[in-house]
Amino acid sequence: MIDPALFPLFLAGALVLNVTPGPDMAFTLASATRGGTAAGLAAAAGVGAGSLVWAALTAGGLAALLAASDQAFAVIKALGGAYLLFLAWRAYRTRKDFKSVEGAGDLRSAFRSGALTNLFNPKVGIFFLAFLPSFTNPAVGPVWLQTLALGAVFSLTGTLVLAGVAFAAGALRDRLASSERLRSAFGVIAATMFGALGLRLLLAHDR
C-alpha cells in the first residue's frame, strides 16, 4: 500500500514538520497551560481527528483527478510543489516569530476547538494535497489509497507529537517564547524540508 523505499523519507519529513511550531502546536500549548495536561491531550486528539478528515478528502480528490486525466494529476503536483516552496519562504521569513493563542480550558471544548480549527483551515487541505503526492508510487497500488494511508500516518505522528507537547506544555511554552535561537532553528529546518519537497515535486517526471 505504501512504497517502502519512500516511507522512511516521508516519516522523517512528517516528524520534522510535526515538531515545527505552528497553529496546532500553539493551540495545544495554550489549552494545556490553561486547562492542564488533559485539556492539552484533548486538543491534540481534536487536531488529529481534523487531520484524518483532511486526509480522506485529499485521497478522494486525488482519486477524482486520476480518473479525469494524467495531466490533471501532473498539474496538481506542480501546484503542490510551488505551494511547498512558498511555505519554505514563509517558514524562513517568520522563523523568529512566536504566536500566542487562547486555549480551551475543558476537555470537550479543547477537542471540539482543536478539530474545528484544523477542519476550517483550508491551508491544511492545501498542504495535504501538496505534501502527500510526493510520496506516492502508482507502481505499488492506487494513489488515493496510498494518500489515505500516508495521511493517517501523518495525523498519528502529529497527534503523538502534540500529546508530548501537552505533557511538556509549561517548559516548552516558556522556552519557545524566550529563545529566538530555538525558534529560528525550527524555522530553518522547516524551510529546508518544505523547499526540498517542493523541488522534488516540481522536478519529478513520473506520475
Q: Which residue has the higher pLDDT, 95 or 158?
A: 158
Block residue for cell numbers 501538496: 130
- The secondary structure of the chain as a DSSP string is ---TTTHHHHHHHHHHHHHS--HHHHHHHHHHHHH-HHHHHHHHHHHHHHHHHHHHHHHHHHHHHHHH-HHHHHHHHHHHHHHHHHHHHHHHHTTT--------SSHHHHHHHHHHHHHT-HHHHHHHHHHGGGG--GGGS-HHHHHHHHHHHHHHHHHHHHHHHHHTHHHHHHHHHH-HHHHHHHHHHHHHHHHHHHHHHHH----
Q: How far is CA 39 from CA 111, 118, 205, in A?
A: 8, 16, 46
pLDDT recorded at residue 119: 84
Q: What is the mean pLDDT of the chain?
A: 81
Percentage of residues of the chain with pLDDT beyond 90: 17
| Cβ neighbours for 56, distance < 8 A, ≥ 6 positions apart | 148, 151
Domain assignment present for 1:
no
pTM over 0.85: no
Segment 84-93 mean pLDDT: 80
CA 176 to chain centre: 19
Q: Which domain holds residue 129?
A: 7-203
Per-residue burial over 130-145, b = 16 or more CB atoms within 10 Å of its CB, e = otherwise: bbbbbbbeeeeeebbb
Q: Which residue has the higher pLDDT, 162 or 73?
A: 162
Q: Which residue has the higher pLDDT, 123 or 196?
A: 196
Q: What residue type is 118 in one-letter code? A: N
pLDDT digits (tens, 9 = 90+) for 3-24: 888 899 889 888 888 887 777 8
Domain assignment present for 75:
yes
Least confident of 15-19, 48-52, 62-66, 143-147: 62-66
Q: Report the domain count for the chain.
A: 1
